[in-house]
Amino acid sequence: MPVFIDQKLYNKYYNGFGNDLLWPLLHYETGRTIYREDDWAAYEKVNQIFCDKVLEVAKSGDVIWIQDFHLFLLPELLKKKNPSLKLGFFLHVPFPSSEIFRQLPHREEILRSVLHADLIGFHDYSYLRHFCSSALRILGLDTSELEINISGHTARLGVFPVSIDTQMVVQKSKLATTEAYAKKFKSDRFTFLGVDRLDYTKGIELKLLAFKQLLKKYPEFRKKVRLIQVAIPTRSEVPEYQALKQQIEQMVGEINGEFATFNWVPVRYIYNTVALGPLIGLYRASDALLVTSKRDGMNLVALEYVASQNEKSPGMVLLSEFAGALSLLNQTLPLNPWNADETADRMQEALKMPRQERQNRWKQMSNFLNKYTATDWARSFMNQLQLEKGGFRPGPAKLEVSKSSIQMIKEHIDRKGKETLHIFIDYDGTLVPIQDAPEKAIIDPSILELLKKLNGKNREITIVSGRSADFLAKQFENSGIRLVAEHGARVFEPSKKRWEQRITTGRQHWYTTALKIMNDYALRVQGSHVEKKSYSIAWHYRQAQPEYSLYQSLKLQEELELVLSNEPTTILRGKKVLEVRSVEANKGFYISHYLDALEHPAASIAIGDDATDEDMFAALKGRGLSIKVGKGATAADYYLSDQKDVIPFIKLLKKELAL
């Protein structure tokens, strides 16, 4: 059913409130925001028009999926008219830090409305975290980061990274016409490709600065490289976008004027839309995709580029840390687009990367995109909303330490294949009880012996913990068990007998700053202390006065979110602990990477107890079973009532499955 809107009203709603206020603010461009009261009135009116149109056809219990920031007010409008409707809301752009969102006029109305949805989805965990922080700071609503309760209504929260039609891109890339385009665009020179809408959030000017720095810093690459920048027109009638276009064209002219020779032009600039066939030809003809977004909800260009590559000699993706796609493509070269010198170094790294490494990186990303498509994204959201039941699926099923519970596990293993059973186990709160002093959480020798016996032929145990490598190494010395420290930042492979680093982003820009702030709070709150790790810092307050330390933890979280808003970090609340970690230090990222690398499908189980383990549970959706230790909101499939049940459960699992 079409929704007809008067042109003048639409302009105030879409171009006014949407593009002049919401778009820049949600992308951290607060200096560009323009607020006009009549734009807000138009935004309210158009959302009401959509509500009226939906209610003309919606029946009791129907499911409505609302898309993006243009309809922030629609959930509340619909729920007030028909509470039986099941509403999903998905945000396709970033949700900013609470310090940014607090600057938005009518912030309370917008937050309250979105919270009338039954399921609220985001591309990236950091966006969800910022949303929760805003709900706390602005509305005073606490959250488990899985749900928020408001006026008797529970809004569930989730992370659902959008994907692409992978098979369509792959098939299109193999057409003869696409190959013809690729041959036409191919050059003997190493080609960096940029494909962006001409929008200030895309950082095209930062890309040009970095390319210029590459030519200056590494003169040996002059005449051997080129940059093709496709700038897709958008809002071309707006003066600000016209000025941006002029700036980009001037920068292109300056670079070509300074470095071009009679047979080499460094930058080829295309200001036009490009059809899909020629675009995929460009993808295949280029050696690296360069994405320098200042903020990007996802950036599907990066996904399309990976899907379109020639497996014999695939190109690399250099990806901004501020693009949501970084959470999906873990084998890219991440970069800070604001640092031209660092980006130039990344480009030099791509220029010199051996073909075998490019193939290995591409294969992992390609395998993932073949398994996780746009259809999977939509299905995962709608499954969570439970279309056929008109509501959410029940919470996790309770596991008893009984043969019947083990039978459910056995059925999962039989379905997935018997080559190997992979068991991922958290440490604190799972294998060992939570202790007031973390250093007291020592593993019992009998438990270690049980794990060693369980870790053998056709079964692999992996300890996945936020603990430091030194601590885990001491607890599991000579055990032959794989260890994952700092949420995935470092991995110990028993066969290699050494620790390996999995983090590619540097910590020099944020670690010292975060450490100073957290040390200040440790001095302020008696009984609290700071734990330093290689790629994370944790502030523990279990031994501090409860009410005061909770208050200080919220203040610390707010301060860290503000100071580190542009850094490649995540901030997590655990059980009496607040932790800053590298964005790549993520248990879910590690498990996805590990399972993607397996040659054969295998059964897998993850067991954990706190917020960091939710990343594991999310990564195993559709791939394995997840078990939360303790009650409460969770993405896990099952739960055990208490930490005391974990070891008896593992013992019974070993016995009943003859492991």
426 in active site = yes
Partners of 65 in the β-ladder:
88
Residue 261 DSSP class: B
Query: Active-site residue among 287, 296, 345, 426?
Result: 426
Question: In sequence order, what DSSP letters do the residues of 113-132 get, joined into one string?
Answer: HHTTSSEEEESSHHHHHHHH
- Output the CA torsion sign for 406, 407, 408, 409: positive
506 secondary structure, DSSP code? -
Cβ distance 436 to 542 under 8 Å? yes
- Give CA torsion, residues 36, 38, 39, 45, to 10 deg: 160
The span from the CA of 21 to the CA of 12, in Å, is 11
Token pair 């307050």 in the structure block, residue:
541
Q: How far apart are CA 495 and CA 264, in angstroms?
A: 50
Residue 582 and residue 507 in contact, taking contact as beta carbons nearer than 8 Å: yes
> Which two tokens mark 32?
């560009």
Bridging pattern class, strands 267-271 and 625-629: unpaired
Cβ proximity of 116 and 291 under 8 Å: no
Q: Which of 82, 140, 109 is nearest to 22 (CA)?
A: 109
Could you tell me the CA-to-CA distances from 376 to 162, 371, 372, 416 in Å, in that order?
9, 8, 6, 19
In this structure, what token pair is assigned to residue 657? 């499955």
Closest C-alpha to 159, from 558, 592, 499, 555: 592
Helices and strands (H, E) in the chain, number of each type:
24, 24
Strands 225-232, 267-271: pairing is parallel
- Locate tokens 């006014």: which residue? 16
DSSP codes joined into one string, 331-380: TSEEE-TT-HHHHHHHHHHHHH--HHHHHHHHHHHHHHHHHS-HHHHHHH
b (16+ CB within 10 A) / e for 418-454: eeebbbbbbbbbbbbebeeebeebebeeeebebbeeb
Of the CA atoms within 13 Å of residue 46, those in its CB half-sphere come to 26
**What are the backbone dihedrals phi and psi of residue 64, each rounded to the nearest 5 degrees, phi first?**
-120, 130
Tokens of 209: 């600065």
User: Measured between alpha carbons, how far apart are the two ends of the chain, in Å?
Assistant: 58
Dist CA 605 CA 587 (whole Å) = 13
Residues 565/576, Cβ–Cβ less than 8 Å: no
Task: Report whether 430 contacts 392 (CB < 8 A).
Answer: no
Active site residues per annotation: 426
